[in-house]
Amino acid sequence: MEYRSQEQDSGSHPHGPLPLLRLKNINFSRDNIRVLKNINLDLHRSEFHAIVGDHGSGKSTLGMIISGALKPASGVLLFKSENYPHFTLRKARQLNIEMASQEIQLINYFSVTENLLIPDKVYHLFPLSKKRRLIQEEARALLSGYGFDIDPAAIIDNLSLSDRMVIHILRSVYRKPVLLILDAVLEKLAATHLDKILDILSALKKTGTSILCITHNIDDIYGLADKVTILRNGEIILTDSVNNIDKINLIKLCYTQISGSDDIESYQDFNQLLRYNEAILQKLPINLIVSDNENKIKMINDYGKVYFNLENAVYRNLFLDDLFSEGSENALELIKSAFSEKKEQTFYNTPIVVNANKTITNVKVLPIYDGAFLIGNITIIEDVSKQENLRQQVILSEKLASVGILAAGVAHEINNPLEIIYNHLNFMKFQIDKEKMYETIANIEEELTDIKQIVSNLISFSDSNKMVNEEFELNGLIASIINLIRFNAKNKKIRIEYTPAEHPIHLNANMNEIKQVVLNLLKNSFEASDGGGAIDIQTSSVNMDGRPFACIIFKDDGIGIEDENPDNIFLPFYSTKKGNEANLGLGLSVSYGIVKKYEGNISVKNLKGTGCEFTITLPQ
């Protein structure tokens, strides 16, 4: 069929084009209970209109009245400006109104083709057998054209729920409706099917079809709809453009709209208020808490229960303070200050301790008003710990890269005059006979050697190009290093415990560089354990992303890292040993650069009590 433009059907109107469908004062009762109360609703051509509401709010009843399946008790339906007291199923079909309902209306023992096309075909033009073959090919072309791999000869009863729902929807789409009603059908589609159906609906809308979508899924509203209507207890609470209501405001609307009663007691009936749209709120992918004016919890959604470890616990009658562990005092103070100020506020990068785990969160507080009455608050907590950690790692890598470039330039500039000084000293050494002068020159040479080693460290830190590698065994290398420093450790009253892996660990790297990493970590532990202590070293083989890695763990019982961000210790010229002028803070930076060069990783954390733990992983 051909679709005419909206202007052609609607004519002129002082307030804009007339709607395709207008419901005026529609009422419906069942068993002396009013299901719909004075429903007034406009639906325009090419409009995707979403209806949301709690179970029992009257959504499906409204859809069945428009489709002709139910007769309203009173009211008027205007379709293309013509008045109807009600529709019958036949009349709705004549007006090109189609409905796909959650109760799939297919004949289970008929084929896909028989359900999809045959009810709308005329048989007398061809012999039946020939007609069936043609129709089956048409069904196959229809299904493949929409991207569905469903056998048109398959029996409906043998299909999955999602496949059956696809056939149910496509049968309505095939009839080229002017108005298509979808009653909670999108929720029953598999993810791959849903994407294709949404594309079909979008194309239908562009050709002029109006779509009335009854849904529990809040994402359907924002991904598809032009307008949204909220139903509660059979009454329309709100109809507005989706662009005018973000998800947070929709939550607020759900919790601030109450019945028309002026009885102040109804404002205190929080439990009744919470029943509205709770199904939608429970599935929001955020941690959401609703509390009353006494900070008593009235609802926590599914994500919040998992976050606060309340899946199997009764949370009602708990207070907001009960959710947070020690260490969350600052967050609670901010939340409560927002409560007292009675206005919407957001707090970023706020530490919260939950079940002894420290997290970084963004906290949003929304007061719930009805008129002049504050009836509670919504608190939304977004855990951004992973994002914050990733951001810190990126910042650290950028700092190290920048300093590495600087270090390379400085090192090469220093090396040039050092070479000249060496040449002059060598000349003087062989030209001067006096023993005292010779000793002085030797001392200067020794100091210059130390400077050269510092410069070498700078170059090693900045140079990402691999030197000549060799294969060596890690456990033996570490054992030999420990043997060399045991005397020094004994003098400092430091005990070294070494637990090598059960099996040999082979690396392909520059052995001197790996020695330097191990020595730098031992030196760091020596300085942290000044005055006595213990160092524990362990090696093991681990599997990461399908590859074998060597893992080296250094633990000491020293003072730990006195910094909020322990990773700062890997920055060049950074040191926690204040006052120790001999410590230039380059050793761990050099180690970081070496480990990263071999596609490994190095990390550090403070241990409970005292001490810290370094973990190094290197590909075997």
Q: What is the CATH number of the domain that holds 375?
A: 3.30.450.20
Question: Does pLDDT of 522 surpass 80?
Answer: yes
Residue 333 forms part of a structural domain: yes
Crossing angle (nearest 10°) for helices 435-462 and 587-597: 50
- Domain boundary pick from 244, 275, 305: 244
In Å, what is the CA distance from 586 to each residue of 449, 509, 567, 574, 583?
A: 17, 21, 14, 7, 8
What is the residue-averaged pLDDT of the chain?
A: 78
Least trusted range by pLDDT, from 166-180, 181-195, 488-502, 580-594:
580-594
Q: Are residues 442 and 477 in the same domain?
A: no
Report residue 95's pLDDT band, with 50, 70 and 90 as the boundaries.
very high
Query: Strand pairing partners for 375?
Result: none
Q: Which residue has the tokens 């009603």?
A: 181
Residue 485 forms part of a structural domain: yes
556 and 611 in contact (C-beta within 8 Å)?
Answer: yes
How many CB atoms neighbour CB 447 within 10 A? 9
Q: What is the CATH number of the domain that holds 510?
A: 3.30.565.10
- Domain boundary pick from 383, 413, 444: 383
397 and 403 in contact (C-beta within 8 Å)?
Answer: no
Tell me which residue range forms the domain holding 496. Answer: 464-620
Residue 191 forms part of a structural domain: yes
Q: Are residues 203 and 70 in the same domain?
A: yes
Q: Are residues 81 and 205 in the same domain?
A: yes
Report residue 460's pLDDT band, with 50, 70 and 90 as the boundaries.
low
Running DSSP on this structure, what letter comes out for residue 73?
S
Q: Are residues 378 and 395 in the same domain?
A: no
Q: Are residues 492 and 609 in the same domain?
A: yes
Q: What is the CATH number of the domain that holds 457?
A: 1.10.287
Which among 181, 237, 184, 180 is positioned nearest to 55, based on CA atoms? 184
Q: Are residues 391 and 371 in the same domain?
A: no
Residue 146 forms part of a structural domain: no
Top mean-pLDDT range of 463-472, 508-517, 542-551: 542-551
Q: Are residues 470 and 534 in the same domain?
A: yes
Residues 406-447 have pLDDT tens digits of 555 566 556 666 666 766 676 676 666 666 676 667 767 766
Residues 316-363 have pLDDT tens digits of 668 888 888 888 888 899 999 999 888 888 888 888 888 778 888 889
Number of domains in the chain: 4
Report residue 36's pLDDT band, with 50, 70 and 90 as the boundaries.
very high
Residue 123 forms part of a structural domain: no
pLDDT for the residue numbered 328: 87
- Domain boundary pick from 413, 437, 462: 462
Q: Are residues 306 and 451 in the same domain?
A: no
Q: Are residues 37 and 163 in the same domain?
A: yes
How many CB atoms neighbour CB 248 within 10 A? 15
Residue 489 forms part of a structural domain: yes
Q: Are residues 282 and 323 in the same domain?
A: yes
Mean pLDDT of 587-597: 81
CA 441 remoteness from chain centre: 65
Q: If DSSP codes are grouped into helix, strand and coil, which group holds residue 417?
A: helix
d(CA 414, CA 450): 13
Mean pLDDT of 177-184: 93
d(CA 318, CA 306): 16
pLDDT for the residue numbered 406: 56
DSSP letters spanning 484-537: HHHHHHHHTTEEEEEE--SS--EEEE-HHHHHHHHHHHHHHHHHHTTTSEEEEE
Residues 281-309 have pLDDT tens digits of 776 778 888 888 888 888 888 888 888 88
Mean pLDDT of 122-139: 64
Residue 121 forms part of a structural domain: no
Q: Are residues 572 and 452 in the same domain?
A: no
Q: What is the CATH number of the domain that holds 22?
A: 3.40.50.300
Residue 435 forms part of a structural domain: yes
Question: Does pLDDT of 83 surpass 70?
Answer: yes
Crossing angle (nearest 10°) for helices 435-462 and 385-431: 150
Q: Are residues 550 and 404 in the same domain?
A: no
